[in-house]
Structure 1
Amino acid sequence: MMNIPDDADARRAVTPVICYPTDSLPRPDMTVLQAAAAAAQGVERVVVAPRDAAAIRVPAGSVLRISALDGPQVGDLNLFAADNLDERFYSGKTRALHGTHVTTGDRLWSSFPYLRPMATIVADTLGWYGIDQFGGSVHDVIGTRCDPYTGRLLAGVDYHQCCHSNLTRALADAAQLPLAQAERHVHDVLNVFMCTGFTRDTGQYFMKASPVRPGDYIDLFAEIDLLAVLSACPGGDCSAEHSSDTAACYPLVMERRVPQAGDLDGWVPPAVNAYDRSHGR
């Protein structure tokens, strides 16, 4: 039986405290990075087929542009340090530092014990969306990725074109690893272009039709040498469902863009986190 305290309303009215104040967080020089990105030239282009994934290597100081091609489509992005798969995108820490959704000026942080910016968002053509009346926003770091295990749990069937499996296959090919070994490196994603939030009444994760249209893009400035792996989600624009062949799906594009000579003078890649790793011993 629920035991409601007499001061329940007062307890609910306590002012929240931000867990990780970011006043002292190192800030990128957005003026320099955005100018360099704006003048960058495309040198490599990879098309990610619907319900599949692909990989691209993006050296530090380059820009990764992810764009919609023929129709509304969301993508699930994994990032790795190009020479060390153990250093990978940490969606939970990125969420704790920047919020549930990211846009221009936010950074994508790597896993422990490295904890450094892997990429900085320097352009986002969906930045206008903001937060809608349902609490939804774009480019989330709260979801995981559609996967065959949850599909088996909830629907009792195996589906192999979900983002987890797509990422596993693409990483295995890019890193020349067996599937089982590659799968251990696949991690929670940046849901590019996906519009999501939490319901106010039940607190459940929701998705709705992405506002992305052909030509929209997000630019990620590579702070370190990156291996980027992107899945074109089987949910299409995620307006109805994912992990099936029902939704209309479209390709995505990953483009590596190189700034002009001299545009990044003075910029240096970030060092790994300086914590001594003694853990009190």
Structure 2
Amino acid sequence: MKPQHPTFPEPDDAAARRAMSPVTCYPADCLPAVDLAALGAARDGWQRIAAVTVPPRDAGCFEVPAGHFFRISSIGGPQVGDLNLWSADLSERFYSGKTRALHGTHVSTGDRLWSSFPALRPMATITADTLDWYGFDADGLSVHDVIGTRCDPYTHNLLTGGQYHHCCHSNLTRALAAHRGLTLEQAETHVHDVLNVFMCTGFSRRTGQYLMKASPVRPGDYLEFLAEIDLLGALSACPGGDCSAEHSSDRASCHPLLVEVFRPAAPPRGWLAPEVSGYDRSHGARPDNPQ
């Protein structure tokens, strides 16, 4: 939180410093365009091959082959979900920070979810979003953020001293451990910052704090993706429900979420699985002085 009463006085040129024009850190115009028409056409004749219902205050895992689609749907009532994605061999994970830097604080149709270094490639592309009408509201909040980390028992303990085991971090840990036959300790090392599906969030202009409000999601709404590589996913139905008041709580009204996997009759027109980053990984070391 910014200090309400700064310790140091403003310099004489404070107004000029504040008036400097901002620039976009990572202009993404050079990224390959997403052919939404081809992705939409690939739905024709697709077949649902798997479905996972994620119970309230719990998580479930699912697998999606490259070139297939998956859809996260609201089915029982307003509910937020925390999504982790990995490559099928767990060597890559969703990189929320780089996704945020490339696409913005919130993502929607045509945006990609990027993987961690050294691969840094698209893991999934958002192909449909029934909440794309929401935009940014008068409070500066929007839907599907890549700014929140995930509710977790460590922060809960820090702030309250309590022991709460159905935070999204713990839900994802249990689900991954059960799905891949890992110990909880092994699984927890793979759990990472999430895409907050359906969550409505933003930052306070006054304090800079992370804000949330009731999600606009309703039964029938969905967020849909194309798997760019073979994926393992885990989705937690957040214990905060629609996150209108709190999370990490058994008091909120919570509902299940549905994950469906679809196999298209043919791969989307022109689609090719992405290559890993072309960076040579030398990190500036001289050939005669390797580091």
What TM bracket, shorter-length normalisation?
over 0.9
With normalisation by structure 2, the TM-score equals 0.94
Paired residue type of 2:220: G
The residue number in structure 2 matching 1:144 is 149
- Does 2:140 align with 1:155? no
Alignment partners' CA distance in 1, 2:14 and 2:99: 33
* Aligned-pair CA distance for 1:36: 1.1
Alignment partners' CA distance in 2, 1:34 and 1:76: 25
Q: 1:17 to 1:186 in 2, by over 3 A?
A: same
Runs of 5+ unmatched residues, structure 1:
none
CA offsets 1:58-98 (integer angstroms, 9 cap, x no match): 00011110000110000000000012x13000000000000
* Mapping of residues 171-186 of structure 1, within 5 Å: 171-186=176-191
The DSSP-based 3-state class of the residue aligned with 1:86 is coil
Give the one of 76, 81, 90 matched to 1:75: 81
The residue number in structure 1 matching 2:27 is 21
Alignment partners' CA distance in 1, 2:184 and 2:233: 17
Alignment partners' CA distance in 1, 2:104 and 2:270: 29
Greater Rg over alpha carbons, structure: 2
Give the one of 221, 228, 246 matched to 1:223: 228
* Aligned-pair CA distance for 1:264: 2.5
Alignment partners' CA distance in 2, 1:40 and 1:213: 25
Give the one of 260, 268, 275 matched to 2:279: 275
The residue number in structure 2 matching 1:250 is 255
CA offsets 1:160-200 (integer angstroms, 9 cap, x no match): 00000000000111121111011011000000000000011
Give the one of 30, 40, 51 matched to 1:34: 40
The DSSP-based 3-state class of the residue aligned with 1:87 is coil
* Aligned-pair CA distance for 1:3: 2.7
Runs of 5+ unmatched residues, structure 2:
1-6, 286-291
Paired residue type of 1:163: C
The DSSP-based 3-state class of the residue aligned with 1:5 is coil
Q: How many residues align?
A: 279
Alignment partners' CA distance in 1, 2:201 and 2:235: 18
Give the one of 92, 99, 102 matched to 2:104: 99
The residue number in structure 1 matching 2:134 is 129
The DSSP-based 3-state class of the residue aligned with 2:159 is helix
Alignment partners' CA distance in 1, 2:100 and 2:276: 19
What fraction of aligned residue pairs are identical, expressed as a percent?
Answer: 69
The answer (yes or no) to whether the contact 1:59–1:225 under 8 Å persists in 2 is yes
The DSSP-based 3-state class of the residue aligned with 1:44 is strand
The answer (yes or no) to whether the contact 1:78–1:89 under 8 Å persists in 2 is yes
Paired residue type of 2:25: C
* Aligned-pair CA distance for 1:38: 5.6
The answer (yes or no) to whether the contact 2:44–2:265 under 8 Å persists in 1 is no
Alignment partners' CA distance in 2, 1:266 and 1:18: 30
The DSSP-based 3-state class of the residue aligned with 1:177 is coil
Alignment partners' CA distance in 2, 1:131 and 1:153: 31
Alignment partners' CA distance in 1, 2:144 and 2:44: 21
The residue number in structure 2 matching 1:167 is 172
Alignment partners' CA distance in 2, 1:38 and 1:145: 35
* Aligned-pair CA distance for 1:28: 2.5
* Aligned-pair CA distance for 1:215: 0.7
